[in-house]
Amino acid sequence: MQVSVPGIMDSRMIKYYHVDGFNPTTLLDAYFSPKTTDCFFQESTKSLMSFLHKAFASGFIKGKTLIDISLGPTIFQLLPVYEFFEKITILEFHDFCIKELEKWKNKDADAFDWTHTLTIMAELKGISDGWQEREDLLRSKVKQIVKCDFSKYNPTDPVLLPKASCVMCIWGLDIISKDKDTYCKNLKKISSLVKLQGFLIIYGAINASYFMIGDHKYHLLTYDDHFLRMALSDEGFKIEYYEDLHRTTTSDLVDLEKIVFIVAQKVCED
């Protein structure tokens, strides 16, 4: 059942992920599950896991703490990276997404089943078994699931998070930024969570404008490569790894030209 939000009733209106309600299971089924169409599952899930696996296999990215700010109550993006960190904090915008993540962490019977992504990770690493134990190790490393609000000076207020070795933002900036000015302001807040010489990982959509959850259309910020590169440079980040994936098929779920994967190191700060 769609979660209703006062004043946001017309399914034809553009909604905002961080403001408007939705059914988290509908989101997960559409984009990150065995029910997802093959071509789109490649873009939303498999390619990201492959990019992360390759980037972290170099040993260049590591540290004590990771903060994840991603679309939906997902954990698959943590599977390629969790072993490189001691503690993980997940930030989410909605109580119902936090509840979904807590069901996974507590191994509740009705939690979303991520077995299909465990299989992908096993293939990437060339390991045939032991992934149940590895998922449990990931659970043990997720120390906090914190609600965030980027309209606040401190997005995690009243919680004050220490700066992290790495912040991972999977679609996160695209879905919460109404315009490019807001994107830069949100990026500054995310930058404040990253240690000097720490890393920011971005997975985003170039020249997109919307994505669908059920029958409802949600905002994606439209921007190009040049804007993204300049925004990162202005915040003191140096791009160390960049890869893109051009769309080969069309889908009514989301409009985009290509997906970009970026690892940037924070080399200076205000």
pTM of the model: 0.93
- Per-residue pLDDT tens digits for 169-182: 999 999 999 999 99
> Left (φ > 0), alpha (ψ -120 to 50) or beta: where does 240 sit?
alpha
Percent of the chain scoring above 70 in pLDDT: 94
Q: Which pLDDT belongs to residue 92?
A: 97
| Distance, CA of 96 to CA of 80 (rounded, Å) | 25
Pair type for strands 210-213 and 65-70: unpaired
Instruction: Report whether 88 contacts 141 (CB < 8 A).
Output: yes
Average pLDDT over residues 6-18: 65
- Per-residue pLDDT tens digits for 66-84: 999 999 999 999 999 999 9
| Distance, CA of 36 to CA of 189 (rounded, Å) | 33
Q: Which pLDDT belongs to residue 43?
A: 84
What domains lie within the chain, and their CATH numbers?
14-266 (3.40.50.150)
Work out the pLDDT band at 12, boundaries 50, 70, 90.
low
Angle between helices 24-31 and 95-105 (to 10 degrees): 70
Q: Which of 217, 222, 242, 232 has its CA nearest to residue 267?
A: 232
**pLDDT for 10 beyond 50:** no
Which residue reads 């302001």 in tokens? 185
Q: Which of 189, 168, 177, 161 has its CA nearest to residue 18?
A: 177
Residues ≥6 apart with Cβ < 8 Å to 172: 69, 70, 71, 190
